A and B are shown apart, each in its own frame.
Chain A
Amino acid sequence: MVLRGPVVALVLLGLVPVALWPAAAGTVALLWLLGVAALVAVDLLLTPSPRSVQLTRSPDPQVRLGEPTTTTLTLTGTGERHLRGRLRDAWVPSAGAEGARHTLDLPAGGRRTVTTRLRPTRRGDRRAAGVTVRVHGPLGLAGRQRTVLVPGVVRVLPPFRSRRDLPSRLERLRQLDGRSAVRTRGQGTEFDALRDYVDGDDVRAIDWRATARRQHVVVRTWQPERDRRVVIVLDTSRTSAARVGDEPRLDAAMDAALLLAAVAAHAGDRVDLLAGDRVVRARVGSQAGGASTRSALLHRLVTAMAPLEPVLVEADWTTLAGAVTGLARRRALVVLLTPLEPAAVEEGLLPVLPTLTAHHRVVVASVADPALEALRADVSSLQAVWDAAAAERTEALRRRTAAALGLLGVTVVDELPERLPGALADHYLALKARGLL
């Protein structure tokens, strides 16, 4: 039951008869209040049921973080009365619903749509909380309302901010492709084609047998190896929950994973993604490479990443390493996106690493914290100096951990969140150029 504004005015209007017949004021006021109550009751009885609206929601939208989208509710009047009132399509606050309150004006048997704008402020699945239908009575005094859950979810994808780094990395990839000579012609370079010599080509690349058959000087060209495997492992354990700036480390790691996957897919490598802590939470693999599946792969990656949230448990690297081994029988580039937290790495990751390094090239990519550098640089007060000493100690421990990883043949990329994706892609390209994949 809902009371409406005119009831207040109606009750106040009762002051007039009370003032006109002061002798019987008590009786007059009592009768007036009873009359108002009776009117409200009548209006309430005449109000159509809010159940006579059938609600259906448009398909769940997907949107990148920070971009707007809409969701549409279709209302169908199933009763025999014209419905007037209000309607609210409630979402969790982080779904950023704007204009969620609508006017309800639905003829009997009619159909209306109401659209709510959404601009989510957090990554992940943001849910609809319920639709409230309030139907007003014909007298304007009362109404009835009811809240029903119309399931809906907006899947908010990682923003992939490092997209702006992609063109420059692809440009570098094209430079690798079709080079006449590779400085170190290792196992990773493949014979591509023969072509006419042009100025600037390395004379060592001249194929004398082909030159003898033809009238021109012919060189062999090489292309970087293709169809290598890249396995990206996202750590969603407690160390990823810590915030760097305004977002968890996990979000920065996702950005790096997406850029690396985009570059590797362009280079013709197979990309697999694993995400997990004690259990594997997401697993995405690419089929045989090709231009048409490249965007599909990225799409599947962001869709798989969207609902991932850091869990406050310790990572079980034995499980994750087992999943990597199951995924890639051949030699692969295994990128572990895990923070370089000395205790967690030494306890969990280090004992497992030898089994991975035995078969694969392993890179540990870690999100560094700019706050640490700020703490280290500040010596303005006594407490600041204590903090600076603590920051130096933390960095020394990180260096020690990185050195221990280095001894196992693992490369460590430890960069600030905004620079990590580029640095990781560069490292991948460097490995590719040297044929070390």
Chain B
Amino acid sequence: MRAVRRWAPWVVLVLAAGLVAALLAGTRSGERLAPDNPGREGGQALARVLQSQGVTVRTVLGTAALPEQVAPGTTVLVTGTAYLTPEAGAQLLDRTREADRLVVLVPGPQEDLGTALGLDVRTTWPTGARLTGACADPRVRDGDEVVAWDVQLDSTATSGAVACFPPSPGHNVGGARAGALLTFPATTDHAEVSLVGFSSALTNGRVTEAAHAALGLRLLGASPELLWVTPQPGDAGQGAPQGLWDVLPRSATPAVVLLGAAVLALALWQGRRLGPVVVEPLPAVVHAAQTTRSRGRLYRQAGDRPHALAALQAGARHRAAARLGLSPAADPGALVDAVATATGRPRDQASRLLTDPSATDDTDFVTTARELRSLEEGLHR
């Protein structure tokens, strides 16, 4: 029992540490639309289905990690535009020039998206709740519907872009290019570029609604290989902060050093005692009743009811004899007679209580001891 109490906290600690390590070591990602994120905002569902359809899905951390030149037969998916500066955009388009297609998911209205990518595109807040395809893009079929979209993408007729999912069915008839999916044909500068304004529709949570899954598979599954790029802060380029360190002011390190020195001084100031700790020479503490308690435990471990009961009865007989004025060495029979007379109890009951040390079980033992006590109290009345 003591060993359990001693080791239990350590065992619990090790188990907890193991659990935390297992959770941390898991290849789960919390990033939106990451191919290994199984949460509602993740993109694992789409990635798994594409893999099962024979598409090789490779995860790339950041546009900066793309190979110098992406080989033909590859679709490149960029899941966000937050770190897309003009420099990064130009680099992205340059590196994906040979690829079959570049798909960029636009998560929301963004002022400088057009300049970042060098394309004729603007973003506005979306209107309407349910969009239908209504365009000539071969990947969009009649009757395809999208019920979750984040941004409306606008272009002009001169760009040659094809706009699908316009905000209203007849919107693009007059030559306007507006919709949730905007596809720019390939040029010498870049591959075919699709800007997708319904990235929410491709998340695990909503991919099963309407035509979302079909659209996703058609957009991404056209080539044998898919490079799934999750943007990283480092994509933004040399000028932008690479991490927390770049955001902090230049004097932070010396300030931290000073604070550390102050804490050290505080510890030295407060930690210095005025003289050593004085210890008390303590005596051994032994309680006089300790041996008696140990004897009680011995009785219990041995289950020695006859001896224990005999001791209780001997004590009761001694006190009763003193009480009734008999000699302590008096014959037990005479004592039982006297006790029975004094308490008014039947003689055989008094005899059993005072002289019979047998008890069948613990309950009988306790009951006999208590009856013996009440017999004694009857004498004192």
Binding partners A and B: yes
A residues with a Cβ closer than 8 A to B are 2-5, 7-8, 11-12, 14-15, 18-19, 22-23, 25-26, 28-30, 32-33, 86, 88, 90-94, 101, 129-132, 134, 145, 147, 241-244, 248-249, 309-310, 312, 339, 369, 371-372, 375-376, 379, 381-383, 385-396, 399
Q: Are B292 and A23 within 8 A (Cβ)?
A: no
Q: Are B269 and A4 in contact (CB under 8 A)?
A: yes
- Which of chain A's residues have a CB closer than 8 A to the CB of B314? 392, 396
How many Å lie between the Cα of A389 and that of B311 in the bound state? Answer: 6
Rounded to whole angstroms, the CA-CA distance of A88 and B278 in the bound complex is 12
**CB-based contact B366/A385 at 8 Å:** yes
Total contacting residues, chain B, CB less than 8 A:
54
Describe A's contact surface by its main secondary structure: helix
**Do residues B315 and A392 form an inter-chain contact, with CB atoms below 8 A?**
yes
* A381 partner residues in chain B, CB cutoff 8 A: 366
B203 to chain A, nearest CB (A): 44
How far in angstroms is the closest Cβ of chain B from A264? 28
From the candidates A32, A134, A388, A394, name the one contacting B291 in the complex (CB within 8 A).
A394
Some 13 contacts from A to B, beta carbons below 8 A apart, are A2-B272, A3-B265, A7-B265, A18-B251, A19-B251, A90-B276, A93-B280, A129-B276, A134-B274, A379-B366, A385-B365, A392-B315, A396-B315
Complexed CA–CA distance, A19 and B295 (Å): 76
Question: Which residues in B have their C-beta under 8 angstroms from that of A14?
Answer: 258
Q: What number of residue pairs across chains A and B have CB atoms under 8 A from each other?
A: 173
Nearest-CB residue, chain B, relative to A32: B258
Would B269 and A8 count as touching, CB distance under 8 A? yes
Is B369 on the interface with A (CB-CB < 8 A)? yes
Option from B254, B284, B288 in Cβ contact (under 8 Å) with A369: B288
- 14 A-B pairs besides A29-B258, A312-B284 with CB distance below 8 A are A5-B269, A12-B262, A14-B258, A25-B250, A29-B255, A243-B285, A243-B286, A310-B283, A376-B315, A379-B370, A389-B296, A389-B312, A390-B296, A392-B312
Q: Which of B262, B274, B369 has the most CB of A within 10 A?
A: B274
* Interface flag for B23 (CB, 8 Å): no
Q: Does the CB pair A11–B261 fall under 8 Å?
A: yes
A118 to chain B, nearest CB (A): 14
User: B366 to A241, Cβ gap below 8 A?
Assistant: no
Provided the pairs A29-B257, A130-B276, A387-B293 are in contact, do residues A243 and B287 lie with their beta carbons within 8 angstroms?
yes
Residue of A248, A382, A385 near B283 (CB, 8 A) is A248
Point out residues on B near A: beta carbons under 8 Å.
249-251, 253-255, 257-259, 261-262, 265-266, 268-269, 272, 274-276, 278-281, 283-293, 295-300, 307-309, 311-312, 314-315, 318, 362, 365-366, 369-370, 373
Given contacts A5-B269, A8-B262, A29-B254, contact A22 B290 (CB under 8 A): no
Interface contact B269-A369, CB-CB below 8 Å: no
CA distance A392 to B308 in the complex (A): 9
A145: B residues at CB distance < 8 A:
272, 274-275
Per a CB cutoff under 8 Å, which of B249, B251, B362, B369 touches A388? B369
* Given A25-B253, A130-B276, also A371-B288 (CB < 8 A): yes
Q: Given A90-B278, A389-B311, decide whether A394 and B292 contact each other with a Cβ distance below 8 A.
A: yes
Residues of B with C-beta under 8 A to A11: 258, 261-262, 265
Q: Which residue of A lies closest to B374 (CB)?
A: A379
- Select which of A22, A132, A385 is within 8 A of B275 by beta carbon: A132
